[in-house]
Amino acid sequence: MNIVQTVKSAFDKMSGLITLQDATMLFLRLWVAKIFYTSGRTKAAAPDNDLLIDLDVARETLRDIAGDEATYAAFDNVLTDEQGYYVSELTEFSNNLFPDSGITEKIEQTFAPWISPDISAFFTASENAGLLFEDEYQVPLLSPEFAAQLAILGETFLPFMLILGIGTRFGALGLLGMTLVIQTVYPHLFYDHMVWAAALIGVLLIGPGKISLDSLIAKKLS
């Protein structure tokens, strides 16, 4: 068998497994997912390692870290702000009061975020996003902060559902709903939104195609 026949045989086998419709649905899923995911990233907050610690929590934790009353008393004398302190402020106090004692490192370890600040920020709406929903988007019935948080979650998880092809129709329905809301905010972009909606309706009616986890799961269950 020569190279031409080998290539033709490979394409024949592939066409039996994946149809043009499957490839088209994959393209539509990836295309519309990219639009919404990119939009969501513009609403995400910047990573923040410097957390604000409640005053009572700061005092209680520093008492445990200090190890003795004399050391804790030195901290207690400088903790006067009832609003609390940022971690950077607590470590600054420690460096000034007890340099090279190891207490600063203990403070940083104790107040380290339980989840990476990069991951936390990835799912958190920025302050600017909240202001945008308050001044420009003005989504009815929802507070600007809640609407911004809901938007970034929707524009993060729903596109991933389309990309992976898992719960694809639910993801498409959610993004279609977001498209309708966006249309009410920016009615002059009707033609852009109509194209998004057409792609999402196609996914809803036809399904994700064979190149999806939904298809794989369906085969396993059948």
Is the pLDDT confidence value at 143 over 60? yes
Distance of CA 158 to the CA centre of its chain: 10
Domain ranges of the chain: 3-46+120-221, 52-112
Over residues 36-40, mean pLDDT: 92
Question: Which amino acid makes up residue 182?
Answer: I
Task: Find the range with the poorest average confidence among 55-69, 98-112, 148-162.
Answer: 98-112
Is residue 31 a contact partner of residue 159, using CB atoms and an 8 Å limit?
Answer: no
Give the tens place of pLDDT for each residue, 87-133.
888 888 888 888 877 888 888 888 876 666 678 778 888 888 888 88
Question: Which segment, 79-93, 112-126, 149-163, is predicted with the most confidence on average?
Answer: 149-163
Give the tens place of pLDDT for each residue, 170-217.
999 999 999 998 998 888 989 999 999 999 999 999 999 999 999 999
Question: Which amino acid makes up residue 2?
Answer: N
**Rounded CA gap, 183 and 179, in Å?**
6
What are the residues whose beta carbons fall under 8 Å from the beta carbon of 41, sequence distance 6 or more?
none
Burial of 81 (0-12, 13-18, 19+ CB in 10 A): exposed
- Residues β-bridged to residue 149: none
**Rounded CA gap, 24 and 28, in Å?**
6
